[in-house]
């Protein structure tokens, strides 16, 4: 594990006090290390709770689906359908068994003082913990099964490194996911950092990188089993870490190259992310981006999506010279190489290469910081909803075998997750109080009257998440 990491508050070096703990002497912050992967985020315990909750939901969903499928089997189905259903039940269970092997360190961390049932407040603030591993399994198929599409992208990235990197000291791959890209460049640099918010994804990637024999089953090819390709032996390794790309635990000027692959389109404010990338790059360092078109925070979805011609004017004031700016088509999650009937999603992708100008700081942009709610004066800020960005609460009723089912869902900008009744009640109460007139102090006071054990710190976590991760809430001074 690299010791190039610094505290995300003080930017001072971290010291290892135990095998499973890093500490900043100046700020007093402590960061846990899970199976060699440091959790370098603002609230590690919150992320561990969210990761544990996500893992428990995966286990629950597999058992629910198994019960639904098994209920169909005695129903007079044809032998062909019975075989197909039995294959899916076996495949889902096999995937769960594989994942379970790598989640043991997470279960252990959760069992050592992490409350996995933190309640509604945890639900609303925990979405900044990365994508669920059951969804991310598809990216392991893309990265580790000799996919021609992945070979095209990794070849493009390595060729840009060869042409434009100032040196080969350090590279950071942000949104590393299954870590195929990080592994593809590891032999080119003295240090390679694979950064992602999803601890479960990195735990599985760690096993793949170590050469473990991993077989997964994929719905996209009829639940056929696929053995992931083992990486070629290398004297160098990828340092994996959990971190927020807007608050990277790297000292300024560490990286020769930063890569963002299918990440920037997910950022609420791409300029904030670009400023942090600018900070960690050395002068002359390059930022290579391969992502769907980015969205602007201040513009309503979907109208805020950038055209390729909009990219240079957005990032040149941040301190970058645009070296290359192209638009192409990419087939995401393409399974055609594993099955003739397997198809992926054709998407428009921006591929850009930008170089950090020699000056240390952006000349024409005042830095925008993620932690807008750190100061005591934040309680006087007025919260208001952002136009055309929606929070939705839905009750879904399913009538069917093996039994009728009712569930609640909370959606943000069209993406839904299942929620408990207390989650939904808190969400509805909170969004009703955010009316463009109340201060944060007023909102908290009203909300806390109906929610027990709801601390001011957790309230600020929720508001920060709704601002930073989703862009559905903004703040202004009362006079503004």
SS3 81: helix
Instruction: Please give the Cα distance from 231 to 130 (Å, whole number).
Output: 25
CATH number listed for the domain at residues 376-476: 3.90.930
**Distant-in-sequence, close-in-space partners of 1: CB < 8 Å, separation ≥ 6:** 33, 36, 38, 239
Whether the per-residue pLDDT at 147 is higher than 70: the answer is yes
The listed range with the strongest mean pLDDT (41-55, 237-251, 334-348, 458-472) is: 237-251
Whether this model's pTM surpasses 0.85: yes
pLDDT for 386 equals 86
Instruction: Delimit the domains of the chain by residue range.
Output: 119-356, 376-476
Instruction: Please give the Cα distance from 219 to 343 (Å, whole number).
Output: 12
Please spell the DSSP secondary structure of 99-135, one letter per residue. HHHHHHHHHHHHHTT--S---HHHHHHGGGG---HHH
Whether the per-residue pLDDT at 149 is higher than 60: the answer is yes
Q: Which of 374, 381, 370, 380 is nearest to 468 (CA)?
A: 370
Q: Which tokens in the block code for residue 53?
A: 């909750």
Instruction: Please give the Cα distance from 302 to 56 (Å, whole number).
Output: 33
User: 119-356: which CATH topology?
Assistant: Rossmann fold (3.40.50)
Q: Sheet harboring 391-398: ordered strands across? A: 391-398, 405-412, 415-419
**How far is CA 169 from its chain centroid?**
26
Q: Which tokens in the block code for residue 301?
A: 């979805």
Helices (H), 291-342: 311-315
Phi first, then psi, for residue 235 (nearest 5°) are -80, -10
Instruction: Please give the Cα distance from 251 to 235 (Å, whole number).
Output: 25
Q: Which of 196, 4, 214 is nearest to 102 (CA)?
A: 214
Instruction: Please give the Cα distance from 348 to 351 (Å, whole number).
Output: 10
β 345-356/320-332 pair status: antiparallel
Q: Three-state SS across 355-419?
A: EECCCCCCCCCCCCCCCCCCCHHHHHCEEEECCCCCEEEEEEEECCCCCCEEEEEEEECCEEEEE
CA angle, 55 as apex, 50 and 57 as ends, to 5°? 95
For residues 246 and 468, the answer to whether their CB atoms sit within 8 Å is yes
pLDDT for 120 equals 57
Summarised one tens digit per residue, pLDDT across range 369-401 is 445 677 888 999 999 998 778 888 999 888 865
CA angle, 443 as apex, 118 and 465 as ends, to 5°? 50
pLDDT for 124 equals 63
SS3 476: strand
Q: Establish whether the linkage from the previous residue to 302 is cis, with ω within 30° of 0.
A: yes
- What's the rounded mean pLDDT across residues 133-139? 91
Whether the per-residue pLDDT at 128 is higher than 60: the answer is no
Instruction: Please give the Cα distance from 134 to 114 (Å, whole number).
Output: 22
- As a residue count, the chain comes to 480
| pLDDT band of 119, cuts 50, 70, 90 | low
Judged by phi (left if over 0) then psi (alpha if -120 to 50, else beta), residue 453 lies in left
- What's the rounded mean pLDDT across residues 52-58? 86
pLDDT for 410 equals 85
Tell the burial category of 41 from Cβ atoms under 10 Å away from its Cβ (0-12, 13-18, 19+).
Answer: buried
pLDDT for 243 equals 96
């Amino acid at each position: 594990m690299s010791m190039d990491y610094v505290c995300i508050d003080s930017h001072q070096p971290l010291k290892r006090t135990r095998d499973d703990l890093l500490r900043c002497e100046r700020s007093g912050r402590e960061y846990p290390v899970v199976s060699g992967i440091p959790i370098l985020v603002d609230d590690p315990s919150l992320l561990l709770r969210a990761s544990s909750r996500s893992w428990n939901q995966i286990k629950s969903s597999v058992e629910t689906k198994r019960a639904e499928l098994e209920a169909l089997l005695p129903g007079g189905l044809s032998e062909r359908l019975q075989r197909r259903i039995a294959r899916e039940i076996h495949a889902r269970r096999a995937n769960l068994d594989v994942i379970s092997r790598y989640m043991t360190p997470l279960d252990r961390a959760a069992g050592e003082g992490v409350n996995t049932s933190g309640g509604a407040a945890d639900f609303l603030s925990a979405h900044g913990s990365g994508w669920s591993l059951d969804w991310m399994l598809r990216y392991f198929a893309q990265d580790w099964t000799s996919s021609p599409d992945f070979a095209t992208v990794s070849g493009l990235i390595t060729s840009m490194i060869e042409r434009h990197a100032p040196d080969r000291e350090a590279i950071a791959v942000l949104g590393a996911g299954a870590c195929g890209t990080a592994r593809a460049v590891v032999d080119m640099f003295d240090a390679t950092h694979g950064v992602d918010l999803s601890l479960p994804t990195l735990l599985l990637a760690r096993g793949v990188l170590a050469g473990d024999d991993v077989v997964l089953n994929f719905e996209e090819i009829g639940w056929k089993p696929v053995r992931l390709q083992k990486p070629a032996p290398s004297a160098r390794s990828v340092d994996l870490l959990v971190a927020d790309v807007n608050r990277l635990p790297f000292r300024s000027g560490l990286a020769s190259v930063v890569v963002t692959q299918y990440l920037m389109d997910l950022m609420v404010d791409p300029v904030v992310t670009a400023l942090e990338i600018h900070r960690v790059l050395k002068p002359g360092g390059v930022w290579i981006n391969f992502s769907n078109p980015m969205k602007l925070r201040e513009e309503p979805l979907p109208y805020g999506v950038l055209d390729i011609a909009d990219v240079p004017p957005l990032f040149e004031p941040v301190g970058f010279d645009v070296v290359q700016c192209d638009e192409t088509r990419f087939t995401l999650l393409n399974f055609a190489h594993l099955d003739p009937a397997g198809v992926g999603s054709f998407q428009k992708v921006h591929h850009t290469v930008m170089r950090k100008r020699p000056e240390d700081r952006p000349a024409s942009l005042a830095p925008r910081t993620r932690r807008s709610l750190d100061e005591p004066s934040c309680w006087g800020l007025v919260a208001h909803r952002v136009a055309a960005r929606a929070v939705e609460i839905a009750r879904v009723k399913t009538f069917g075998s093996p039994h009728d089912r009712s569930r609640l869902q909370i959606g943000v900008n069209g993406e839904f997750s299942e929620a408990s009744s207390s989650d939904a009640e808190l969400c509805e109460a909170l969004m009703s109080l955010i009316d463009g007139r109340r201060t944060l102090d007023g909102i908290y006071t009203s909300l806390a009257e109906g929610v027990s054990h709801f601390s001011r710190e957790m309230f600020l976590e929720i508001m920060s998440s709704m601002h930073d991760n989703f862009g559905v809430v903004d703040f202004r001074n009362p006079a503004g």
